[in-house]
Amino acid sequence: MVNNIFKKIINKEIKSNILYQDNILTAFEDINPKTPVHILIVPNIFIKNTNYITQNNKYIFGEMFLLAKKLAKKFKINKTGYKLIINCGKNGGQEVKYLHMHLLGGVKIKSIV
Instruction: Name the helix (H) or strand (E) containing 51.
Output: none
Asked if residues 83 and 109 have their Cβ atoms less than 8 Å apart, the reply is yes
Asked if residues 63 and 24 have their Cβ atoms less than 8 Å apart, the reply is yes
What residue type is 81 in one-letter code? G
Q: d(Cα 63, Cα 86) in Å, to the nearest integer? A: 14
Q: Is 100 a catalytic residue?
A: yes
Q: d(Cα 102, Cα 42) in Å, to the nearest integer? A: 9
Q: What is the DSSP letter of 20?
A: E
Given the residues 43, 67, 72, 100, select the one marked as catalytic.
Answer: 100
Active site residues: 100
